[in-house]
Structure 1
Amino acid sequence: MHNPTILQCFHWYSPGGGTLWPEVAERAATFNDIGINMVWLPPPCKGSEGEHSIGYDTYDLFDLGEFFQKGSVATKYGTREQLHQAIDALHQYDIAVLLDVVVNHKMGADEKERVQVNPVNEQDRNQIHHDVIDCEAWTRYTFPARQGQYSKFIWDYKCFSGVDRIENPAQDGVFKIINDYTGDGWNDQVDDENGNFDYLMGSNIDYRNRAVTEEIKYWARWVMSQTHCDGFRLDAVKHIPAWFYKEWIEHVQEVAPKPLFIVAEYWANDVTKLQQYIDQVDSQTMLFDVPLHMKFHEASLKGSDYDMREIFTGTLVEADPFHAVTLVANHDTQPLQALEAPVETWFKPLAYALILLRENGVPSVFYPDLYGARYEDTGGDGERYHIEMPVVDKLESLILARQRFAHGVQTLWFDHPNCIAFSRSGTTEAPGCVVVMSNSDAGEKTLELGENYANKTWIDFLGNQDQRISTDETGTGVFTCPGGNVSVWVIEEALQRT
């Protein structure tokens, strides 16, 4: 794929009412026009809240908006038929489709079961109390409306290692289920936050039960055959044993008709943890570059006090560029969400230029940054907030610039705390560019590009500056940018050709 570029085509507050799948189908041609060639769709399966579910509270993996379950046939995003129409429209324009896989937990069980549990210290999950509580828990999933279509598998307490609520006696907390598969502790090869972060929420799926492992593999084969998707985004992998995903990814790649693009969400601001996970799964998945996102967040808050020379220090794209998916924002980091760490509006054009126009990493664009978003929700302080996320200035042009001008060898001029630059040399088939940005006053760089760029006239593709720049007989020129902004300089004759 030429300069792969992902669009996360939803956000936490995307409108409901079954409007997203039709919108995706309608926008497919526009995505193609601006240079989007991969679209990450939200979880397509029925959640415990039915048509009100964002999708991360998975109830039935085999219901893509087809059965009347949890109060509706459609999911929040539409019916199964509309999902197929959206995917077909994307494929018509050679846009790859990534489905969101949520298999850490299940919610919305159909029946309660008598179980025995051990209470767990929520701050240190390795402290599992020896007290045994006889109780009831919502752990039986029978999917009566589907009646065994597509899969006859019934989930019960033996498929789960923990829950966060029990009844008779009624208690909330973290509880370790006692069964034939869970043993004395939690799964290994998970994040060590809270001692062991295997348990996150709901009915926690236990992959030590081989029947569960095989069912999730079967579901993957089924969903690929039904949707013809081109890859997956894996949710919450820090809570799922790495040995399971190593096995699962090997399986889906083996049975897929063509290589799948897979990116996993391991949300940790520690590049060492990300590299460890990549090693544990034998380098079979890419990861979102959380440290880089946090750098963007910090830089946007500090303004001119942030040293732009350090923007990539300690990031995944610096340490392992072949496994990094870079991002400026996502549904978890947007305002009022659990991992809220928004990048300030003024800095987003700089951040997007850094992920879209450099040669390293696969960039992911966030829907509200491209199309805007408005929503209301209650914050952690109990107050009600109205949030407005404006369209990022010149983002569409930056995505287009990636396809037209982000080619060839990269050279960096990260030699000033406030003004940095990089160039792409271009190739015999496609032109390059020069990118200059400043987090302070207007900036300029005297750059020696070589004789291939002698006596050329350059213009700012973004239109942030009106003047033209000329390089001399040695290919040297003074390239500038506005204060707190970015300019993308391209050769005028190349612009006219492309």
Structure 2
Amino acid sequence: MKKTHFLVSMLVLTIFNACRNNDENDNENPRKLESHTRTVNVTTHDGRPFSTGSGSVSGKFVSGPGGGVLMQGFYWDVPEGGIWWNVVKDKLTAWSDSGIGAVWLPPASKAQNGAYSMGYDPTDYYDFGNFNQNGSVETRFGSRTELEALITKAHAENMQVYADIVINHNSGGQSQANPFTGTNTWTDFSAIASGKFPRSYNDFYKNSYGNNDEGAFGGFPDLCHANPNVQDWLWGRDDSVGKYYKNVMKFDGWRFDYVKGFGPWVVNSWNSNVGGFSVGELWDSNVNTLEWWANNANSSVFDFAAYYKMDEAFDNGNLNVLNDDMMWKRNPYKAVTFVANHDTDIINNKMPAYAYILTHEGYPTIFYRDYEEWLNKEKLNNLIWIHNNKATGTTSILYTDNDEYIARRNGYNGNPGLVVYINNSTSWQERWVETNWSSKQMKDFTGHSSWYPTTQGDKWVKIQCPPNSYSIWSLNQ
């Protein structure tokens, strides 16, 4: 949920809108790294798919050892005019060829601000741009036909599509007398165009079920998940919101907005009844809170703990904080990592951050504007290829100081893994590190270093990293 773009009132709720060359590696006795080696006790390969292609090689997204990569297929205030579904559809082939396996779309149903709304003020969950209500037929993003064509194209590219689900609050209802407040409230959704999930004051707090749940947002009517009618319409009945999105619209998974506003049991119930991938937006940097929610929701969660640590590490010159706890270290199966999204974009030094999430465990997300507009797409495609092909196994942190960070992915099921070296300093750096390979030639798969070092019999090797950059090493095969 965009936290800073809403201006709401109780009457009208409107959204404002050179490489330094060394011919060969120096293989004298390694300088042992004292007490800097630490193994993160996390599980191995998460089983998500990967692409066989690099950024320059075409090929449908196929399953493999490295795990999946998610594209956030929008940003805040994407262009109006009903064009966005077609914009995304036209990019799917290139995204698939680059190794991206899923796309997360903005809230797809008609919202209170009609053709101008980003969708986070939902009115009619079953109007995907096919009913004339709230001032338009199409949503901001396009028509239902265009959305269905996008989803069909994504599936043809062997990509999944995740829907942004906003079920904490609603907007755009009519005024009605509310006996629980003694006033009129904007909670009459009996005349929605689709005729599905009609609501009244007893479907919102406060009501006969209580005064409130975990949290309201922005003055919007707060949907009451304790009401069996709400549960039935959200995930219970055959034409519930969840089952309609999955079985009729063919969405494959869910990004749940503002999950602080309701208990994790809500997402757990949805997942148990509907299925599909799910991730929650729990905006909290406390890893204990993230883990608690993920376990109780039976869902993945965005790794805000890692997000804020990356900002401190890469923008403030303190790579030591990457030793701190994060959700991906607790449970990589339930951690969705990210560098920016439509709500928050605080990391300035983004390429090392992407090198971090695309070489480490968890499910990495790429932000649309970073990929399509702001960063070097060739370098991002290179990192996606490395993630899909090399980023396997548990993680061992080998060395950290303020300016340098080195970690090893230990490989899985015959895949060798990798060693990632991030350097925040203004000069080239070199380190001896312990690999899992004896007497094997390595190379830097980013191309930032021209070294082709051979590991010693005891598996130690010297690697290098350019200033303000990263290198990623694996077997030369």
Instruction: Compute the TM-score of the two structures, normalised by the length of structure 2.
Output: 0.80
Q: Residue deviations 1:334-368, cap 9 Å, x none?
A: 3xxxxxxx101xx312111221112x211111111
Paired residue for 1:171? none
* Counterpart residue type for residue 279 of structure 2: V
Paired residue for 1:17? 81
Superposed counterparts of 1:392-431, under 5 Å: 394-408=379-393, 410-426=395-411, 430-431=415-416
Superposed counterparts of 1:40-55, under 5 Å: 40-55=104-119
Answer yes or no: is the 8 Å Cα contact 1:457–1:471 preserved in 2. Answer: yes
Q: Residue deviations 1:403-455, cap 9 Å, x none?
A: 122234543213433212123354565453321111223322212325x4415
2:209 to 166, 175, 181: 181
1:272 to 278, 288, 309: 288
Q: Residue deviations 1:98-140, cap 9 Å, x none?
A: 111111111111x21122566xxxxxxxxxxxxxxx4322211
Which has the higher mean CA deviation after the structures are superposed, 11-20 or 229-238?
11-20
Paired residue secondary structure (1:227)? coil
Answer yes or no: is the 8 Å Cα contact 1:456–1:472 preserved in 2. Answer: no
Paired residue secondary structure (2:248)? helix
Distance 1:186 1:427, change over 3 A: closer
Distance 1:198 1:144, change over 3 A: closer
How much does 1:317 deviate? Answer: 1.5
Answer yes or no: is the 8 Å Cα contact 1:437–1:443 preserved in 2. Answer: no
Answer yes or no: is the 8 Å Cα contact 1:439–1:483 preserved in 2. Answer: yes
In 2, Cα distance between equivalents of 1:139 and 1:408: 50
* Counterpart residue type for residue 245 of structure 1: V
2:473 to 470, 481, 489: 489
How much does 1:199 deviate? Answer: 4.8
* Counterpart residue type for residue 445 of structure 1: R
How much does 1:241 deviate? Answer: 2.3
Paired residue for 1:220? 242
Answer yes or no: is the 8 Å Cα contact 2:429–2:466 preserved in 1. Answer: yes
Distance 1:48 1:94, change over 3 A: same
Which has the higher mean CA deviation after the structures are superposed, 99-108 or 70-79?
70-79
In 2, Cα distance between equivalents of 1:267 and 1:106: 20
Q: Does 1:363 find its partner at 2:364?
A: yes
Number of equivalent positions:
408
Paired residue for 2:186? 138
In 1, Cα distance between equivalents of 2:242 and 2:100: 25
Unaligned stretches of 5+ in structure 1?
A: 119-133, 162-176, 191-196, 254-259, 335-341, 373-388
Distance 1:409 1:276, change over 3 A: closer
Q: Does 1:234 find its partner at 2:252?
A: no
In 1, Cα distance between equivalents of 2:266 and 2:338: 26
Q: Residue deviations 1:178-209, cap 9 Å, x none?
A: x3232xx322xx3xxxxxx3455311101222
Paired residue for 1:288? 302
How much does 1:324 deviate? Answer: 1.1
Q: Does 1:63 find its partner at 2:65?
A: no
Answer yes or no: is the 8 Å Cα contact 2:313–2:320 preserved in 1. Answer: no
Paired residue for 2:94? 30
Q: Does 1:436 find its partner at 2:421?
A: yes
Q: CA RMSD in A?
A: 2.2
Q: Does 1:157 find its partner at 2:171?
A: no
Answer yes or no: is the 8 Å Cα contact 2:124–2:192 preserved in 1. Answer: no
Distance 1:466 1:263, change over 3 A: same
Q: Does 1:202 find its partner at 2:250?
A: no
Distance 1:431 1:318, change over 3 A: closer
In 1, Cα distance between equivalents of 2:316 and 2:162: 35
Distance 1:295 1:427, change over 3 A: closer
Q: Residue deviations 1:189-242, cap 9 Å, x none?
A: x3xxxxxx3455311101222111111111111121112221111111110122
Q: Residue deviations 1:230-269, cap 9 Å, x none?
A: 111111111012233322221113xxxxxx1111111112
Distance 1:200 1:214, change over 3 A: farther
Distance 1:27 1:312, change over 3 A: farther
Answer yes or no: is the 8 Å Cα contact 2:418–2:472 preserved in 1. Answer: yes
Distance 1:395 1:312, change over 3 A: farther
Answer yes or no: is the 8 Å Cα contact 1:424–1:434 preserved in 2. Answer: yes
Paired residue for 2:316? 302
Distance 1:81 1:302, change over 3 A: same
Paired residue secondary structure (1:251)? helix
Distance 1:432 1:248, change over 3 A: closer
1:263 to 256, 262, 279: 279
* Counterpart residue type for residue 289 of structure 1: D
In 1, Cα distance between equivalents of 2:378 and 2:363: 21
Distance 1:453 1:15, change over 3 A: farther
In 1, Cα distance between equivalents of 2:179 and 2:315: 49
Q: Residue deviations 1:140-170, cap 9 Å, x none?
A: 1134543x2xx2x421111111xxxxxxxxx
Paired residue secondary structure (1:158)? helix
Answer yes or no: is the 8 Å Cα contact 2:404–2:424 preserved in 1. Answer: yes
Instruction: Compute the TM-score of the two structures, normalised by the length of structure 1.
Output: 0.77
Paired residue for 1:380? none
Superposed counterparts of 1:332-481, under 5 Å: 332-334=343-345, 342-344=346-348, 347-358=349-360, 360-372=361-373, 389-391=374-376, 394-408=379-393, 410-426=395-411, 430-441=415-426, 442-450=428-436, 452-458=437-443, 460-481=444-465
How much does 1:86 deviate? Answer: 0.7
In 2, Cα distance between equivalents of 1:205 and 1:144: 16
Paired residue secondary structure (1:394)? helix
* Counterpart residue type for residue 148 of structure 2: H
Distance 1:137 1:425, change over 3 A: closer
2:152 to 85, 88, 91: 88
Distance 1:247 1:455, change over 3 A: closer
In 1, Cα distance between equivalents of 2:82 and 2:430: 49
